[in-house]
Chains A and B, each alone.
Chain A
């Protein structure tokens, strides 16, 4: 990314970026850029679903009819034809709209699950899928705590469908399509470090408006997408029982132990076999 693009993107982070003390600036090198993400402020969302439309257009998916509000009657989930959905929830503070898509975890379960590296965490943060590597085992679907990867069950050549945070647009220094189409600034694109600052500032400035939690700050080790809300996240269809451990950590000990077994067990077995031989001779 060139400097101009960087400035343009960083500008999105707005006031908080300026307010940030200079010493907190990360020693970010071109080799290890910090992850980008999106802050979703559900108190600002008006449920217009312009993001659903722009997402489908940007990725050549069937464009949903956003005039039809009947779709909001039931809680929907993403599908193999729709990478993101907006749901309506009746809560203690009235109706709230919540956008749902891939969370772009910092340490994604799906990429740790993938045996062909078809699921890939890019350096900028988007988790993307390579069609030429995937063998269609669906282990990513089993592993993802948010149940985001979707599979085309009715195709002889099925693809995994999921939000890629408009990876291809980011390459062109453009914001994700959904963020660009949002008329109320409910979506904000930026570096997670900056987005966290903005989110905290909003909570401190309006302590009665928001619940004092930023969903995605620590969930499953931290996610690229962050959420602010006026009501507890359980009321908005979020799972709050996922814990803060990055999912790949659950398999780390096992995979770490594999070479140990491969070093140790053959030697042990050989020893046993030699001992047993001695015994049978004597």
Chain B
């Protein structure tokens, strides 16, 4: 998954969102070890201090934990990961509904249209 960082928002918060996405999508599964700060910073082409800050925040949120000598790991708490996954899904749905409302559809029509589109895709 490419690190598509936008230029008008803080880098730090975008890094947090991207790492959350990597975790909830299973690229970094529960309990797995994360690459080093330097490697992650290199991969995302960002300042290592900014990456460090993002990881520290994710640690505070309980999504990551560090082992004093061996590095950083994804939490083994699957419920916690699911909670974040649900949160991200809700965000996408809200955005969808908002966009549909901007087009002039109410929620009911939007759902109908969604179902019809899925049906046609099959």
Please determine whether chains A and B interact with each other in the same assembly: no
